[in-house]
Amino acid sequence: DGGITQSPKYLFRKEGQNVTLSCEQNLNHDAMYWYRQDPGQGLRLIYYSQIVNDFQKGDIAEGYSVSREKKESFPLTVTSAQKNPTAFYLCASSGGSETDTQYFGPGTRLTVL
Amino acid sequence: RKEVEQDPGPFNVPEGATVAFNCTYSNSASQSFFWYRQDCRKEPKLLMSVYSSGNEDGRFTAQLNRASQYISLLIRDSKLSDSATYLCVVNIAGSARQLTFGSGTQLTVLP
């Protein structure tokens, strides 16, 4: 089956710890994205990558880091510098052209204890 | 002003009703428009693209008014399964970040 997978589905973290969220796609899409969603709010862009080995900051990149070493993988690390990391994290991919639709993974729900 | 604005609702309608959602966007350079559907605690999924001439997909009709920078979604003969949050999404030409999402309009269809 083609699609986007994210793991884990639920993640609990203690304050001061870094955690890495996985995102993998087998759609052969060039572009990948990370969003954060808080209750009652829209999606906010954290980082995006248009091609392998290249990525750009989105609107709320502070406290997060990414890598794009392979086309199919775009992991997100939530660092201890992120002051309010509890949220629903969504990964998406698209074919890369401006009019392409983005397809989302099932999301990871992160809770900081 | 938000780049994409939607009435958050909630809209509570009986089964079989017709309901319309509106969305405005601020950037006149916006080129592509979409409606996504998001079920509770799930990921957004594409419902339909919105074309300049308006388009229909079964019970769903989307319209675009570029002059007023306004997008609408009409749902006819509402089903219980239509209960979800509907996200208005805009693509700005030349923007590598591609999509800007509205906060969503919550719909509950009541039996």
Contact in structure between A35 and B99 (CB atoms under 8 Å): no
Across A59-63, A76-80, A93-97, B42-46, least confident range: A93-97
Whether a cis peptide bond, with omega within 30° of 0, leads into A85 is no
pLDDT digits (tens, 9 = 90+) for B26-66: 988 888 899 999 999 899 999 999 988 889 999 999 999 99
Placement of tokens 């204890």 in the chain: A113
A22 vs A3: CA distance, rounded Å? 14
Query: What mean pLDDT is predicted for residues A90-109?
Result: 86
Residue contact A41–B99, C-beta within 8 A: no
Looking at residue A101, its pLDDT comes to: 85
Bridge partner list, B25: B4
Contact in structure between A101 and A110 (CB atoms under 8 Å): no
Q: Strand, coil or helix: what is A18?
A: coil
Closest chain A residue by Cα to residue B2: A42
Interfacial residues of B (vs A; Cβ cutoff 8 Å): 4, 8, 31-32, 34, 41-46, 49, 87, 91, 93-99, 101-104
pLDDT for residue A97 is more than 80: no
B33 vs B41: CA distance, rounded Å? 24
Rg (CA), chain B: 14
Taking CB atoms within 8 Å and a gap of at least 24, the contacts of A51-57 are: A51/A96, A56/B96, A56/B97
In order, the DSSP letters of B61-110 are EEEEETTTTEEEEEE-S--GGG-EEEEEEEEETT-TT-EEE---EEEEEE
pLDDT above 70: percentage of residues in chain A: 95
pLDDT for residue B1 is more than 70: no
CA distances to A63, B75, B89, B111 from B34, rounded to whole Å, are: 30, 15, 5, 28
With contacts defined as CB-CB under 8 Å, which chain A residues touch B91?
98-99
Copy the structure tokens of residue B95. Answer: 């923007």
Copy the structure tokens of residue A79. Answer: 């660092």
With contacts defined as CB-CB under 8 Å, which chain B residues touch A94?
98
